[in-house]
Structures are given as C-alpha cells and as structure tokens.
Amino acid sequence: MISSVLVANRGEIARRIFRTARALGLSTVAVYSTADAWMPYVDEADAGVHLPGNAPGETYLRSELIVEAALRAGADAVHPGYGFLSENAAFAQAVIDAGLTWIGPPVDAISSMGSKIEAKKLMAAAGVPVLAELTPAEVSADDLPVLVKASAGGGGRGMRVVTRLADLAAEIDAASAEALSAFGDGTVFCERYLARGRHIEVQVMADQHGTIWAVGERECSIQRRHQKVVEEAPSPLVERIPSMRPALFDAARKAAAAIGYVGAGTVEFLADENGAFYFLEMNTRLQVEHPVTEETTGLDLVQLQFAVAAGERLPPEPPPTVGHAIEVRLYAEDPLHDWQPQTGTLHRFELPADVRVDSGVADGSEVSPYYDAMLAKVIASGADRAAVARRLAVALQQARLHGPGTNRELLVWILRHPAFLAGDTDTGFFEEHGVGGAVDDAVVRVSALAAALADAAGRRTPVRVPSGWRNLVSQPQRKSYRYGDQVVEVEYRLTRDGLVVDGNTALISLDCGQVVLEVDGVRRAFAVAAYGGSSAGLVCVDSPLGSVAFTPVERFVDPAAQVAIGSLVAPMPGTVIRVGVQVGDVVQEGQPLLWLEAMKMEHAIAAPADGVVGELKVAAGQQVEVGAVLAVVGEEA
C-alpha cells in the first residue's frame, strides 16, 4: 500500500502529481534546490527536503540524495515525473533496493529503451517499422540530409540536421559534446532526416497482468530547435488517414510488449504525409504533453500510474477519444533576441479560468537559469478543433504575463495560422512559414504612449492634474522607452482641449493603471503595470492589440554602466562551456566566439562585427551573470 509519495522532480510536474496524490488521500514530499526554495510546489507539499546547491548535477540528478530524502521524510513511494532521473534505470533500482515503491516501468524496460541505438534494434526485431541507422563513417552525399542524434536522453539536445557532407564531422562533435553535458553519454548516431515529417506518438498504459492499452495518439509536429511547441490529440494526419490509427496502435502495443512494459509510456513515431511511419524512441515515463490525452479520454494518467504500481488491473479496453485538445508550451524566452531563455522575477502570472493551466510558477516566482525555461502548459479542449484553437488563442492573448519575455505572441500566431487550422503541421512548419507573432511597430508606439500617460497620471499634483498638464501652449512632454534594441520616443501635450499627439489619437480616460485611447476612430483600453518604480524597471502594457514590455530610459545615464563598443555581453546567466578564439584572432560578424550553457541549452555568442579579438574576459567553466562582458572585438588588437 502506498501512503506517502516523494516526487523526484520540481515545478509544474511536481504540482501536477501532488494534485492527484492529494485526491487519492496520499501525503506528499517535495525535494527542492536552493534556487527552488520558494517555488509554489514546495509550499503545496506536506513535507519538503532541501537538496543543497542549484545545478541539476548537484541536486535533482543525485539519486542517492533523492532516496535519502524519501526515507528521511517517511515516504514509501517515489514518482520521478519527467526529465532528470525519470528514465534512469540505476535510480529506479536504487528506489526499489531502498524498499520503496517505484511509480514507473520495470528497470529492465527503462534500460532497454535508454539507448536509442539498441532500442531501434529491439523494435525492428518486434516488427515495429524503423528508419535505418547510419554510422557516421558510412554517411555519403546520397544519404543527405541526415539527423545526428544523441543515443541517450531527449528534449532536442544532442541533435543536429546536416545538409552538407563537409559539415558532418563538426556537427557530430558538437552533438556529442552537448549530449555528454546533458546526459553524461556522448554516443551519437545518424539516420535519414525527413524534413517534412509528422511527429506522431501513442500513449500506452500497461498493467502487471498483461493488459496493454494504446490510449489514443498525439501529434507534436510543430517544433523549434527539435523541441515541441504545440501538441494536440487526436492527430490531424491520423484523422485524415483512418487506416493509420489501427496500425499505429498495433505497433505501439508491440513495442510495449517486446520489453515487458508496465505503467505509462509513450511510443514516438515519425510519419510521412501518406501515413507511413517509423519508430523514433520510447519514453519510459509520463510525457509533458499528457494533458491532451487526459482531456480527450477523461483519464487521469497519474492516477493510473499509482494504480498500476499498486498491482491493480486495467479494464480490457481504454476509453475512446472524444473531441479535441490542444496544448501549447509557454516559455520564458526573448522573441526579440533569437528566443534566448529569460530569467528574472515573474511579477504577474494570470490566465483566464476557462483553460487548463499546468504551471510551476505564480506571481512573484523567480525564473532561474538552472532549469528548463517552460513556465506553463496551457490546454484547451472541446468538440471542434478549430473552436479549440480559437479559444486557446484568445486565452493566451488575455493573459497577464509580466516579467521575463515569453513566446506568447508566437503561440497565438501559430494557433491562428491558416496552415495550422488546416492541419498542415509537419516538422518543417517554421521553415516554410517563418517564425511570426512579432508585435507591429504601430502597436509598440501606441503602447508606449499609453505607458507614458499612465506614468503621468501616477504623478498627479495635489489638485489632481496629471504631470505634464499645461494651461498655456508649451513644449511637449517627452519620455523614452527601450523595447528590445530600439528606443521608442514619446511626445505628447495634455492641454485644456485634451491630448495633443501626432496622429489621429484622442484620450478618452486616464488612470495610472488603465488608459483608454481612440486611434483612427477605434477605441481601445490599455492596461499598464509598472514594476521597479516609474523611471526604472519594467512597464507592461496589455491590450487587445498585443502585449508589450518596456524598460524606461533614464534621462541621465551613469557612465559606469556603459560597455565598450564591440563588447559581447552575456544575454543570460550561465556557464561558459567553450571558448573558440584567442586574443588577436581575426573574426567576422556573426562568427561564434564562445558558448554558454543555460537552462539545459547551449547558446553561441557571436562577434558583433568584423574585427580582432582585443580582450577575453572569461574562460571555460566560469559562471557569468546577465550583462557581464565576455569579450571585446575591436578594429585592431
């Protein structure tokens, strides 16, 4: 019998598992790093055990510390969630050896799927279609393009698409280094790359008595940097080719049976437009995108994991899939700077109540550089796919997300894109359609005006006249904001006749928290929130036109805060993992000079212009803060 469960994870998935555990009457135990001490999941657990340190290698990847924490807190079961140690066979064995119940598949099943190379051989023997493996030495020009993949792990790390044979060796080295850093195993292999493939996966659930369910399929084809962005159930491709579903389900059940699988798992396939599909990998854990299966089947997959671990039997057949569900992954990243992960205080996190939000954060949470940048999974469901997409887009648009930048506008753009609505969602979606969702310049300008007016309203005189009001004609009020790399200048006058500003703009009402403007005869409300003071910090403007975050530009700049022309600064906190140049090297604009690792991803820092490396201020292994000068490129050494 299970009475208390420790979740060997953090953030969103820990909260998700705690929710089901409480419903089952189980007590809960959290583990947390120093950086996570005040995260919501820790407060929601009945008990918490501190894992000193911040980096995963010091904390959530230390199996001995996790097992010790479970025993110390009196837990009798361990749920691994996803990521970290969830697919680590040695950890599962350590949990079992400690006398605890492992809420996961058998150790041998985890081991057999731990290497993608060996997994493909097992699946081929079981009659599951696979793509032929290519050893790097045998790849020829006729095989291109190929995909270099890490044999261990997942999440898009250790993956490279190679289109030129001359690039193969360098890409293999880069993929191997990234895999070694992420998973402790640098083994990579190659396979044929389907540039227009569809990523289809089947949720399986198996009990200890031989029953194996194929619980519907999901499509996760829209990906960026080999990481999923949008997931849905059922798959538009499978819906279009009805004969495909029975074949997929049969292959998934064969895969699970071949390794004696028990518990929740996902068999992932790559399919073409004609319905042919090939085994990619099997994730021996709960998937990030499991909510869309829950929303279309009525199942609680975490509850089933507990039930199966306790030896209960599954019914002979799973429930049918009804309706449609779409999930988007909301990330803390900067759309204005190549989607680099963002850190900092999340001042406000609010989404409408009519969508499901699985999140690890709340108002005031700190987004740290040590872990994945995902803030939440936002899920909508209903009878009709198009209606679900519209409702999810509106919910994202209405969200109040104040703090680090997010990919919210990109998600809205995807959900409203004609190709997405038509179900044309292969893995080349962004290559074909670009990466959209940027806020229009006109929206940025009117949002900056609203921010300036709200700031003036917040500094009213004792007789309630907003700052900048003049009885007689005078110079306009001026305020500057930084939006990405551009500075937005605002000029306006508040007179007895109202707002005077360039363009056909009228002020309808004014308050420090909301400004109503009429632009070209159309009235709209702009909600304005400022953090860190009126002349510094962050100003967030939300409206039906889009959400914009500004940094006020101070009138007098501290010279000590300036950096030399040609400086490369750290766009985020992280660790320098490689330095590719030396002082005196001649470099070209855009050439990668060094690499940072942050939020489980590798980021290249490139030369801002042609020139010579004049200074190197960091070395490999060094931890740096955001804004730190890493190197300086000048015209001469």
User: What pLDDT, in 10s, does the model give residues 335-374?
Assistant: 988 888 899 999 999 999 999 999 999 999 999 988 989 9
Interaxial angle between packed helices 107-114 and 89-97, expressed in degrees from 0 to 180 and rounded to the nearest 10: 170
- Rounded average pLDDT over 506-531: 93
Q: What is the pLDDT of residues 375-388, one digit of tens each?
A: 999 999 999 999 99
Residue 44 reports pLDDT greater than 70? yes
Q: Are the C-beta atoms of residues 587 and 605 closer than 8 Å to each other? A: no
192 carries an active-site annotation: no
Q: How many angstroms separate the CA atoms of 53 and 50, rounded?
A: 9
Handedness of CA 240, 243, 246, 248 (dihedral sign): negative
What CA–CA distances, in Å, run from 226 to 100, 112, 386? 35, 23, 25
pLDDT recorded at residue 328: 98
234: left (phi over 0), alpha (psi -120 to 50) or beta: beta
pLDDT at residue 278 in the model:
95
Q: C-alpha angle with apex 635: 632 to 637, nearest 5 degrees? A: 65
Q: Helix crossing, 89-97 with 63-73: angle to 10°?
A: 30
CA 628 to the chain's CA centroid: 25
What are the extents of the domains in the chain?
4-103, 132-192, 198-433, 441-552, 559-634
pLDDT at residue 193 in the model:
83
What pLDDT is recorded for position 542? Answer: 97
pLDDT tens-digit series, residues 513-522: 999 999 999 9
Answer yes or no: is pLDDT of 560 > 80: no
pLDDT for residue 180:
81
Cα–Cα distance measured from residue 313 to residue 291, given in angstroms and rounded to the nearest whole number: 22
Residue 346 to residues 375, 388, 403, 447, 533: CA-CA distances in angstroms? 10, 27, 4, 21, 16
d(CA 10, CA 371): 10
Inter-CA distances, 237 with 215, 223, 329, 422, 514, Å: 17, 16, 21, 10, 45
The CATH topology of domain 441-552 is Glycoprotein, Type 4 Pilin (3.30.700)
The closest alpha carbon to 430, from 446, 410, 449, belongs to 410
Model-level pTM?
A: 0.89
Average pLDDT, stretch 47-57?
95
Res. 470: pLDDT tops 70: no
Query: If pLDDT is split at 50, 70 and 90, which confidence band does 489 have?
Result: very high
pLDDT cut 90: percent of the chain above it? 65
For residues 437 and 426, give the distance between their C-alpha atoms in angstroms, rounded to a whole number.
19
Q: Is 437 buried (19+), middle (13-18) or exposed (0-12) by CB count in 10 A?
A: middle
d(CA 34, CA 48): 12
Those residues with Cβ within 8 angstroms of residue 470's Cβ, 6 or more apart along the chain or in another chain? 493, 494, 495
Mean pLDDT of all residues in 465-490: 80
Determine how many CB atoms are found less than 10 A away from the CB of residue 573: 20
Torsion, CA 585, CA 587, CA 590, CA 594, rounded to 10:
-10
The CA distance from 489 to 479, in Å, is 6
Residue from 16, 198, 224, 285 carrying the catalytic annotation: 285
Nearest to 444 by CA among 408, 488, 402, 409: 488
Nearest to 253 by CA among 213, 284, 282, 209: 213
Listed in sequence order, the DSSP H helices in 128-262 are: 168-183, 236-240, 244-258
Of 385 and 591, the one with more pLDDT: 385
Read off the pLDDT band of 50 (50, 70, 90).
very high
For domain 198-433, is the CATH number 3.30.470.20?
yes
Question: pLDDT-based confidence at 463, cuts 50/70/90?
Answer: very low
Residue 225 falls in which region: left (phi positive, over 0), alpha (psi -120 to 50) or beta: left
Q: Which two tokens stand for residue 141?
A: 């020009």
Question: Residue 534 — very low, low, confident or very high, per pLDDT cuts 50/70/90?
Answer: very low
Amino acid 522: pLDDT: 95
Distance between CA 322 and CA 337 in Å, rounded? 40
CA 194 and chain centroid, separation? 24
Query: Could you identify the residue written with the tokens 């045998």?
Result: 138
3-class SS at 226? Answer: coil
What does the pLDDT average to over 410-431? 96
pLDDT at residue 414 is higher than 50: yes
Q: pLDDT category, 262, cuts 50, 70, 90? A: very high
Mean pLDDT of the chain: 91
pLDDT of residue 559: 61
Inter-residue contact 483 to 550 (CB < 8 Å): yes
Q: Is the pLDDT of residue 153 over 80?
A: no
CATH 3.40.1350.10 describes domain 132-192: no
Cβ-contact 126, 92 below 8 angstroms: no
pLDDT at res. 117: 85
Residue 303: name the closest of 213, 93, 234, 312 by CA.
312
Is the Cβ–Cβ distance between 219 and 198 less than 8 Å? yes
479 three-class SS: strand
Query: Which pLDDT score, from 0 to 100, does residue 375 have?
Result: 97
Please tell me the CATH code under which domain 4-103 is placed. Answer: 3.40.50.20
**What is the distance of C-alpha 73 from the center of its chain?**
31
Handedness of CA 62, 68, 74, 77 (dihedral sign): positive
State the fold for domain 559-634: OB fold (Dihydrolipoamide Acetyltransferase, E2P) (2.40.50)
State the average pLDDT over residues 562-571: 78
Instruction: Locate 603 and state its tokens.
Output: 């980021």
* Tokens, residue 171: 């890409």
Q: How far apart are CA 356 and CA 342, in angstroms?
A: 24
| CA–CA distances in Å: residue 2 to residues 64, 77, 153, 311 | 21, 6, 29, 11
